[in-house]
């Protein structure tokens, strides 16, 4: 094994066909040892003597893909100065492309002496070998011409799902593939997603994560995976190849999944966690960053560098003010786009990434770098626009090119359909793409990622079935999870045999789904809502890798009907350009017709007045969308035309008759959707009335001519 100085770039372990270049950044270390491990765990230490611009590097001839490795990093152990070097700890390369397994708490993962009366101030002097090892990979893969699909945002329908939850119990997925990337790439899942009609799947974190010790001690695990430790490595937990004993097989398997989804016309969006890591606070484990260069990678409290800023509620926050940490994030993002072919990212607690000092700044370095990056700026960028720090709620404040999870949309729609008054004006904004949030900064309606529920909270079925959370299975005396999901139910608490209650719940689920999928903006379905998935009232199932979180694919007649209804809505949205406009409405008059591109109507057929909008008892309205003046073009550049559409919503507890407008076409209105009756058929002349049950919604079309 001949040793050469190697190169400081690229970081990580890079195989060139003859050997491997190893490069690790640490500006505060006094020495670095590369540790090579064989399959039995036997260790060989290689001193890394070359350092260029704080990058320690070495090249070893003869090393091949499949080599396991880690680092021992030397330097001061002085937590009060923010330094936590300890060569007794073998740490994971932040740039590792594959791992040899999960963390092993029993083999030691702490840089300090556990049980010491001085807490984390006294370094451990025993071997700490519990961090996973990096694995050198062969990056070659036959993509067969695959590339990003580049589906326009305004024509997108996103489906949020978990790799395991989606596939674990599907009867047609081979048992050995369930819960894996290969399971998602299997024909039964691809067929299901195609028939549902979605255009993108947004996967909960697939970066390698850590199962917290306190969860393992309770027989639980970190199911959601928002506890990253490897920003380049697909999690080994979700690999059928790894189960078969194929070292680093998760990389090839992930690529095969992406290729299969692309062939099915479905984009891949990754939920990524660059705001914190799994190493927690000052009492947390040392797995990677903390033992490599703690002050480079983490935001430390200025006058108490032993401690970490915690804008995330997880114990630490990444130090995006440091250029090396920014490089780490950008290198990771480019890797997933260029090497793994993903189509976009949803950034968890993205407001944390904008914090230059204590205040959230739209012009933070992170966003500036992304804006000018020729690769990352061209994929879908979605922010979760809040964190838990002061001033962390930033809905509507992210830069151009960014879409956002619109928490205001969620809250307004829930309140409106619950029957709360005073939401008419807000409802108008949310149905039309939230122009109050996105129009003035160069963004479009599709910048609003509309959702009713997401992984974090009740499922849609539970939202209409429970007054209170039921998180007892989490082992925290039901004290965990948000209380914001309360009081949306329709009748009895939990499951019931009462036909009236179940009918109302079914209608409310349809109301939410219809509103979501027919609003301007980009809809996101929480996976399983289309088949009535329930978590038994658990609104914080982050630690439930079991039937609580997995899909139940044995569909009742009711849930099969809900699935068909959802498929119908997705088709309706994608078939009608008026329902997914690329630009905001202008309220302008349509040439040659006595109508405007959008009109708001009362149930008596008259247009809404300011008094109606501001009346706290207004609980019904109609939204007329003209089939002309859509301000969008087809692939050939021709102006898009559509039928006239009418959405009529009644959130009150009383039935109403709604007078249908006359768009001047001489054609009747035809019923497309009735949330109270999947099989309803109706044809009405302009000026006639349509009957809306309490808490129901209809969509009608009138041919343009």
Looking at the annotation, which residues are catalytic?
348, 384
* Beta pairing class for 12-15 and 3-4: unpaired
Q: Establish whether the linkage from the previous residue to 119 is cis, with ω within 30° of 0.
A: no
Of residues 454, 464, 461, the one with CA closest to residue 419: 464
Q: Cα 189 to chain center, whole Å?
A: 19
- Secondary-structure breakdown of the chain: helix, strand, coil percentages, each rounded to the nearest 5: 25, 20, 50
Q: How far apart are CA 674 and CA 423, in angstroms?
A: 22
Spatial separation of the C-alpha atoms in residues 556 and 545, rounded to whole Å? 23
Q: How far apart are CA 19 and CA 7, in angstroms?
A: 13
Tokens of 15: 């195989």
Give how far Cα 491 sits from Cα of 418, 452, 469, 494, 655, Å: 12, 20, 15, 9, 18
Residues 595, 574: Cα–Cα separation, whole Å: 24
Smallest CA-to-CA distance from 157 within 514, 520, 524, 511 is with 524
Question: Which segments within 11-100 are labelled E, that is strand?
Answer: 12-15, 19-25, 31-37, 43-48, 50-52, 55-61, 68-74, 77-78, 83-84
> What's the residue count for the chain?
705
- Residue 612 CA, chain-centre distance (Å), reads 37
Q: Which of 65, 66, 46 is nearest to 5 (CA)?
A: 46
Residue keyed to tokens 């898009």: 640
Structure token digits, residue 413: 């729609």
How many beta carbons lie within 10 A of that of residue 7, not counting itself?
A: 16
Q: Are 261 and 268 in contact (CB under 8 A)?
A: yes
Burial class (CB in 10 A: 0-12, 13-18, 19+), 302: exposed
Contacts of 12 by beta carbon, 8 Å cutoff, 6+ apart: 22, 23, 93, 94, 95, 96, 97, 232
Query: What are the two backbone dihedrals, phi and then psi, of residue 462, each rounded to the nearest 5 degrees?
Result: -70, -30
């Amino acid at each position: 094994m001949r040793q050469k100085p190697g190169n400081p770039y690229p970081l990580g372990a890079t195989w060139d066909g003859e050997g491997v270049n190893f490069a690790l950044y640490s500006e505060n270390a006094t020495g670095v040892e590369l540790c090579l491990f064989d399959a039995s765990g036997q260790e060989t230490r290689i001193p890394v003597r070359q350092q260029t611009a704080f990058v320690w590097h070495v090249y070893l001839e003869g090393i091949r893909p499949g080599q396991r490795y880690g680092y021992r990093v030397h330097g001061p152990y002085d937590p009060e100065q923010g330094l936590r070097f300890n060569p007794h700890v073998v740490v994971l390369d932040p740039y590792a492309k594959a791992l040899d397994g999960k963390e092993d708490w029993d083999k030691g993962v702490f840089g300090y002496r556990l049980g010491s009366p001085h807490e984390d101030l006294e370094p451990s002097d025993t071997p700490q070998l519990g961090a996973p090892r990096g694995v050198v990979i062969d990056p070659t893969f036959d993509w067969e011409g695959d590339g990003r699909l580049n589906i326009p945002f305004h024509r997108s329908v996103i489906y949020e799902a978990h790799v395991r939850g989606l596939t674990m119990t599907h009867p047609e997925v081979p048992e050995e593939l369930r819960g894996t990337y290969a399971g998602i790439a299997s024909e039964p899942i691809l067929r299901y997603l195609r028939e549902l009609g979605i255009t993108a799947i947004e996967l909960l974190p697939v970066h390698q994560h850590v199962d917290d010790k306190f969860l393992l001690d309770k027989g639980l695990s970190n199911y959601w995976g928002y506890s990253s430790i490897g920003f380049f490595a697909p999690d080994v937990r979700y690999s059928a190849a790894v189960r078969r004993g194929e070292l680093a097989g998760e990389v090839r398997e992930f690529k095969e999944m992406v290729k299969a989804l692309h062939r099915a016309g479905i984009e891949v969006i990754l939920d990524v966690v660059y705001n914190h890591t799994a190493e927690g606070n000052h009492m947390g484990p040392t797995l990677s960053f903390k033992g490599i260069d703690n002050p480079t990678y983490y935001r430390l409290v200025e006058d108490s560098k032993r401690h970490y800023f915690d804008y995330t509620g997880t114990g630490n926050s990444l130090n995006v003010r440091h250029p090396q940490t920014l490089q780490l994030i950008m290198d990771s993002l480019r890797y997933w786009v260029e090497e793994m072919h993903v189509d976009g990212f949803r950034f968890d607690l993205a407001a944390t990434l904008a914090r230059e000092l204590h205040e959230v700044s739209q012009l933070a370095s992170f966003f500036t770098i992304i804006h000018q990056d020729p690769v990352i700026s061209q994929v879908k960028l979605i922010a979760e626009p809040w964190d838990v720090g002061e001033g962390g709620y930033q809905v509507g404040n992210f830069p151009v090119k960014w879409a956002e999870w619109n928490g205001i949309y969620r809250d307004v729609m829930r309140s409106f359909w619950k029957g709360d008054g005073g939401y008419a004006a807000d409802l108008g904004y949310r149905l039309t793409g939230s122009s109050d949030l996105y129009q003035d900064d160069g963004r479009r309606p599709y910048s609003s990622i509309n959702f009713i529920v997401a992984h974090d909270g009740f499922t849609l079925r539970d939202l209409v079935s429970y007054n209170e959370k039921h998180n007892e299975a989490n082992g925290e005396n039901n004290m965990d999870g948000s209380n914001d999901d309360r009081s949306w139910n329709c009748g009895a608490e939990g499951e019931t045999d009462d036909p009236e209650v179940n009918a109302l719940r079914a209608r409310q689920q349809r109301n939410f789904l219809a509103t979501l999928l027919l609003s301007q903006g980009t809809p996101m379905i929480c996976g399983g809502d289309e088949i009535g998935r329930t978590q038994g009232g658990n609104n914080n199932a982050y630690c439930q890798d079991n039937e609580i979180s997995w899909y139940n694919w044995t569909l009742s007649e009711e849930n099969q009907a809900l699935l068909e209804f959802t498929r119908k809505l997705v088709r309706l949205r994608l078939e009608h350009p008026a329902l997914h406009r690329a630009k905001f409405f202008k309220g302008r008059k349509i040439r040659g017709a006595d109508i405007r591109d959008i009109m708001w109507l009362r149930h008596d057929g008259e247009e809404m007045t300011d008094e109606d909008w501001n009346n706290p008892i207004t609980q019904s309205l109609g939204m007329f969308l003209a089939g002309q003046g859509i301000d969008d073009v087809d692939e050939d550049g021709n102006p898009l035309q559509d039928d006239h559409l009418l959405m009529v919503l009644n959130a009150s507890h009383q039935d109403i008759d709604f007078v249908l407008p006359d768009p001047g076409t001489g054609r009747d209105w035809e019923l497309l959707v009735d949330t109270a009756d999947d099989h309803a058929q109706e044809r009405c002349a302009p000026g006639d009335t349509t009957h809306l049950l309490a808490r129901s919604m209809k969509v009608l079309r009138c041919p343009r001519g």
